[in-house]
Amino acid sequence: MPFSDYKTALVTGASSGIGAAVVERLRRENIEVHAVARSAEALQQLAARTGCVAHVIDVTDRQAMAELARRVEFDILVNNAGVDRPKKFLEADEGDIDLIVDVNLRAVLHICRLVVPGMVARDRGHVINISSIAGAYNFGGNSSYHATKAGVSMLSNQLRIDAFGKRVRVTEICPGRVATDIFNHVHGDDPSIRERFIDGFELPQAADIADAIAFAIAAPVAVNIGHMEITPTLQVMGGLQTAKPQPSAKPDQSAAAKTDQSGEPSP
């Protein structure tokens, strides 16, 4: 279904990174884009730059999102908002788990509940769910995040089943590492974070993800691009570690031996 068949879009997490890039890309196609995020200042700047309609809303505010969905019939939905609190699950904090589930999964479910039935009724629409390679592959320190992104991945598959027989397309975008500010949002605003995750790496830019989304939307109506995994060329997923069992702790155990039982992989 070409862009000319779509008129309106809703993009969450729109104030920066991939969300802002998607807003800019869709506006170039003359789509009326409603940009949702918590950052009023960043949204105002985005609106001034692109002409999007800014909504300062937290995606977990179900009433505000419902009111927006009642006022506007959306042809395109881009569920992009997400958070992370990376730590080992054995050290997980109750509040962190609730936040990750509320933003990454519960909000996506409710926004789809509010928007997708209208798409089905109109026999027209495209849902873009931004999940992550974390929904399919394992790496340490992000267990709650992995669980929510796997949920978004399964939701994307299920939406196509629930909308079967209607021209409602669903695309799951699974980015790997992308050069955005998300690492500072997650790990803290420190120059060392950029050095750790961005500087010196060859990474996709937010605009590259937005272009991939535009490609999926612009495909003919008979084509549903269901799943796109987008990673740096120099990034791979997977790996294997094998640990030796640690001896039982003893009262006179040395500090060095205690460090060895931290769970970190040995050299």
Active site (catalytic) residues: 145
As a whole number of angstroms, the distance between CA 101 and CA 83 comes to: 9
DSSP state of 4: G
Name 9's Cβ contacts closer than 8 Å, sequence gap at least 6: 26, 31, 32, 33, 34, 74, 75, 76, 77, 78
Hey, how many other C-beta atoms are within 10 angstroms of the C-beta on 251? Answer: 4
DSSP state of 175: E
As a whole number of angstroms, the distance between CA 144 and CA 148 comes to: 6
As a whole number of angstroms, the distance between CA 169 and CA 159 comes to: 9
Sign of the alpha-carbon dihedral angle for 22, 28, 30, 32 = positive
- 7: alpha, beta or left? (left if phi > 0; alpha if psi -120 to 50): alpha
